[in-house]
Structure 1
């Protein structure tokens, strides 16, 4: 019976999928499978032949393999490896090369014979590539083929660098990279213009010859392409769909990457559900959006014809379900994000008391506060709450180099014009200019340049917070140590990061904390900053009584927005408030016109914020609620 139920749940899925709670658990599982192959081959005195991938996805797999080697004696002396791909052209010593990646994450930490390591050569002459690719294929065949091939998946649906248009029988070859693939790699190269346009990759046909294929994917960014690959029709537009032809493939996903698969996203379409309040809310909103109807106009036929008959029977009549969800959505809307004084707060998202709250808005970068919740920020100040803003990082990697020279030149000219005594900056300025003129992509800035970039972001943040109504003593710059690496890849969280956050929280003792829950940030800064806040509050909860009365609200906006069914507080903005929010964002001039790291969205940050806030308001309007100009959305984090 359990087997039949699973088949029913997964009937939209065209290949095997296993879902783990998080990437760590999934990676350990894959590493153990690799270790099992290695040990079985060792027992037979044979080589284990592995196809390896690069990128963020397999890093934890390699870390676990290194641990197994160092702590449990797993030997790699009998292992032969073939990597999927390499950029072209690419020197093996370049930090962006996959040779450097594999050495840093695996090969330099295990006892593998480097003669058994094979990675496509990004240095060979263009005319020699066809012969090299044939030889690469021949080497794989000569050692008996791949025992296991591990894969990631790109947002284009590429496996290896087999971009859309690749043939299912393709072999190792030189390819042209899709523009989206190059945009995704831009942060590793210091900008898309520095990303190579070509790569050498194993073909789909080469991958298919492996005796076992494991494709891994983590986080919500991959959820959309995973759904297309697992449930969609086979197409050259999504090369990973060719894996549907294999009898030896398995997809290993974390919960976020699997989130859009039918059995998780709309489970009522594949099985009987336990109808929790959350699931009912999601299903009713889904149905209203699907049929383009306000919630209160949904009928019993609408439920029955769209996989929701069980809900209608168990929780009906349908009209009562509709009224219940409509009322819950209506109760998320409030013009009083800090609570409305002397009001019945039983149906409001925030408490009425105390009527004047101490509030801390944590901003991972120096502009996330106004981009994501600028309207609510201004509203909290206008309504008399004791609002503080804490900028968790300096943001000093996201400033253009020519802005550094401009600000230093201004400083020198100002001092000269005013006849002020000023340390001679000419030598420092000359060194800065020489460094910038010779700077390589992703090269770490000098300490002086990092300082100037940090001061630029600091000045803009102060201007934005002042515009929102804060006094200077309520503006805090934390400069958390994890961020201060001088490069896109940041350091791990340290005890100092947590202690600095605890110190600020102890000083303010807030009733409300706002934190960025926008974890699609391509640099990963948001999730790191959020985890630091959570750890700080958990520790303080053990000794500080005020923590029990402190509510934590998550905001989004810079990179994506909450789904309507997730929203627990929606703060409507008038046209005038939308303008005020926009002007607050404009104070961050270094991020205007074109930010250094814009992500995969061509719009400026103020445009993203404005559009998303209007889309949130429209989603409420479409469901039959009041029509507002814009809305900022929040979800409460419950420990």
Structure 2
């Protein structure tokens, strides 16, 4: 049996830009806002302007929220602050819903004591013939205030900083630029369709950014992990503009754990630092080695370990063969066709308990289709094996319904009622309000309450249809409609006590033996994360209840990513027929087929994404030398 050992290691860094990793984006934003506040106060004491370079988008929002808190609660004044924003879409009016001027006013400037005359944002309505001169003047204004003291940046999935797309030169200045298709796809959520996203933008140049005395680049979430690795550890290249920051003397990359996941110190920490060789670290190292070399685990040799930074591990345990066998068995024991536990079986090497043979199972689904998309095979298996399965849809999912789909639904209801003489004044009023709004709705405008209600009904009906298909009776289907979600926009409210109480009450009522929840932090809308935080908090509040001692919480991923192989604790295989069954269940969500509202850069439909991901998981196990399955769904247990 392998035992835990700490092995000294010569510290090595693969990072060409200093990177600071925080447990969460919230912790990171608190630290960054403190640094900004320190710069402002230092300049105040000297009687000087503090010149800030500011970014927009979801990434810096929590920084701005913390700065507002510091202003309101701790007296931080912005009366000596000058702000220059990075960029703006072109052409775009300053009062447009998607304009960065509007964003900055709503998320920062309107809530602090900054002089609006000292807030400079590229003007998206500048006449074309004046653009060159306007951009030159923008550069001169920055210089006139002595240059930027601290520049905040985000990073695009293609490596852009500001709107400096791949191909931008290191000496580029403020200018008009054509947006990369990836950037436009990422903006679809704000503009209600790719056709409405501007093709151009005004942006500070890379050269302008590099003149800042301090640069802080922020990145959160799994979807940024790949490009962060390229920018921080890869070569300096115009194809990843963020990599230019490697040449800055005072730049830092600030990350949460998810965004840092692909960095070598997280992916292969034994290459950079001292590690504790416990079971989880050994599993991580051996699976990483096998996949890197393209070899099954049982074929790894002593030389493979020695030549790839794992000589210390080999020295501890003697032979590759012994380590290989142990890790192979660990992986083998994660595979089960009995996600609720196999009755009357030895469960010492199984991921789930054999008893009780029939479990109460509560599956939380952030949106009305995450259950079937993310764990449809396991969902069906739990029902077929006789467990008492409950489904809890945490949000209405209404913003993901296209306007034309809602219009079609409204017309059907009104035609149906008219045909049969059904008189329902209250319902008619709601449908009339929704239909009237749809006829005048502007691109990117928030839905009215009436329209959100209609769209929510569409998704509720689809969820019920899926549950009938799987075999879950309606009395076990729960629509929570958590309040945090009901903003009518992509941006949600923080999880609140009311949301947590709703989740906790349901858990307390069902008293489940198993809870399944979405642990997918790559969700582009953030809803999965908020829903998960609500579940964690509810579970913490309930953990002293007697029934919670027998409750296990399993986390699944969504349509965008899978758990790393070394983290997987339960893998449920699917046959070709079960894959098809899952596909048909996903098809019940008709409003999400044939192109969805928030498609993003991935043109595959959800059933295709799910099948590709499940097959890739099965292929990963097969590459490591285990049995070959058609597909697999994977889970990690969260211990509370």
Q: Which aligned pairs between 1:285-434 and structure 2 lie closer than 5 A?
A: 285-418=287-420, 420=422, 423=425, 432-434=434-436
Give SS of 1:18's match: strand
Residue in 1 that maps onto 2:627: 626
Contact 2:391 2:477 in 1 (8 A): yes
Give the aligned partner of residue 592 of structure 1.
593
User: Which whole-Å deviations, capped at 9, do the CAs of 1:491-527 have from their partners, x for residues lacking one?
Assistant: 2222221111122112211000111111211111111
Tell me if the contact between 2:11 and 2:274 (Cα under 8 Å) persists in the aligned partners. Answer: no
Match of 1:223 among 225, 242, 252: 225
Distance 1:479 1:572 in 2: 32
What does 1:90-169 align with in structure 2 at a 5 Å threshold? 90-169=92-171
* Larger displacement relative to structure 2 (573-582 or 441-450): 441-450
Q: Decide whether the 8 Å contact of 2:258 with 2:521 is kept in 1.
A: no
> Which residue in the other structure is 1:240 paired with?
242
Aligned residues: CA RMSD: 1.9
Alignment of 1:65-84 (within 5 A): 65-84=67-86
Q: Which residue of 1 aligns with 2:4?
A: none
Once residues 530 and 307 of structure 1 are traced to their aligned partners in structure 2, the CA distance between those partners, rounded to angstroms, is: 36
CA distance 1:73–1:407, shift in 2 (3 Å): closer
Structure-2 change in CA distance of 1:56 and 1:423 (3 Å) = closer
Equivalent residues of 2:434, 2:454 under 8 A apart: no
The answer to whether 1:638 aligns with 2:639 is yes
Return the alpha-carbon distance in structure 2 between the equivalents of residues 316 and 44 of structure 1.
63
Partner SS for 1:566: coil
**Structure 2 residue aligned with 1:64:** 66
SS in 2 for 1:166: coil
Deviation, 1:373, is: 0.8
Give the counterpart of 1:468 among 456, 461, 470: 470
Hey, what's the Cα distance between the residues in 2 that align with 1:16 and 1:499?
41
> Counterpart in 1 of 2:582?
581
Contact map agreement 1:243 1:249 (CA 8 A) in 2: yes
Shift of residue 416, structure 1, vs aligned partner: 4.1
In structure 1, the residue matched to 2:534 is 532
1:267 aligned to 2:266? no
C-alpha distance after superposition, 1:177-215 (max 9, x if no partner) = 111111112212222222211111111111111122222
* Paired residues of 2:97 and 2:444 also in contact (CA < 8 A): no
1:384 is displaced (CA, Å) by 0.6
Change beyond 3 A, Cα 1:149–1:557: closer
Query: Is this contact kept in 2: 1:557–1:612, CA < 8 A?
Result: no
Partner in structure 1 of residue 3 of structure 2: none
1:571-598 deviations in Å (ceiling 9; x for gaps): 1111111111111111111111111112
2:29 counterpart of 1:35: no
SS at match of 2:362: strand
- The structure-2 alpha-carbon separation of the partners of 1:136 and 1:519, relative to structure 1 and needing over 3 Å to count, comes to same
User: Contact 2:20/2:252 (CA < 8 Å) preserved in 1?
Assistant: yes
Cα distance in structure 2, aligned partners of 1:32 and 1:190: 35
Contact 2:361 2:512 in 1 (8 A): yes
With structure 2 as the length reference, what TM-score do the two structures score? 0.96
1:593-612 to 2 correspondences below 5 Å = 593-612=594-613
Following superposition, the deviation at residue 43 of structure 1 comes to 2.0
2:15 to 3, 10, 13: 13
**148 and 303 in structure 1: CA distance in 2 versus 1, 3 angstrom threshold:** same
CA contact (8 A) 1:170 1:206 kept: yes
Q: Distance in 1 between matches of 2:77 and 2:449?
A: 42
Q: 1:95 to 1:511 in 2, by over 3 A?
A: same
Q: Is the 8 A contact 2:8 2:275 kept in 1?
A: no
- Shift in CA distance, 412/28, structure 1 to aligned 2, threshold 3 Å: closer
Counterpart Cα distance in 2 of 1:120 and 1:137: 11
Q: Which digits, 9 at most, give the CA deviation of each residue in 1:313-367, with x for residues without a partner? A: 1123211100001001000001110001111111000000000000011111111
d(CA) in 2 for partners of 1:427, 1:388: 34
Cα distance in structure 2, aligned partners of 1:278 and 1:506: 33
Other-structure match for 1:255: 257
Give, in whole Å, the separation in 2 of the partners of 1:424 and 1:336. 48
**Structure 2 match to 1:568:** 569
Q: 1:434: how far off?
A: 4.0
Distance 2:51 2:9 in 1: 33
Residues 540-581 of structure 1 show CA distances to partners (whole Å, capped at 9, x for unaligned) of 223x21011100011113221112111100111111111111
Q: Secondary structure at the match of 2:351?
A: coil
Whole-Å separation in 2 of the counterparts to 1:498 and 1:124:
47
**Count of residues in correspondence between the two structures:** 634
How big is each residue's C-alpha offset from its partner over 1:417-440, in whole Å with a ceiling of 9 and x where there is no partner? 445555598776565444223211
Moved more, 74-83 or 163-172: 74-83
Describe how 1:202-217 pairs up with structure 2 within 5 A. Answer: 202-217=204-219
Instruction: Please state how far the C-alpha of 1:53 moved relative to its aligned partner.
Output: 1.4
Aligned to 1:447: 449
List alignment gaps of at least 5 residues for structure 2.
Answer: 1-6
**Alpha-carbon separation, structure 2, partners of 1:69 and 1:297:** 61
Secondary structure at the counterpart of residue 486 of structure 1: coil
Deviations 1:142-162 (A, max 9, x none): 121112222111111111111
> Is residue 381–residue 468 contact of structure 1 (8 Å, CA) maintained in 2?
yes
Measure the CA separation in 2 of the matches of 1:227 and 1:194.
32
Query: Does the 8 Å contact 2:178/2:201 carry over to 1?
Result: yes
Change (3 A) 1:48 1:386: same
Establish whether residue 520 from structure 1 lines up as the match of residue 522 from structure 2: yes
1:471-550 equivalent positions in 2, closer than 5 A: 471-542=473-544, 544-550=545-551
Indicate how the Cα distance of structure 1 residues 45 and 407 shifts in structure 2: closer, same or farther if over 3 A, else same.
closer
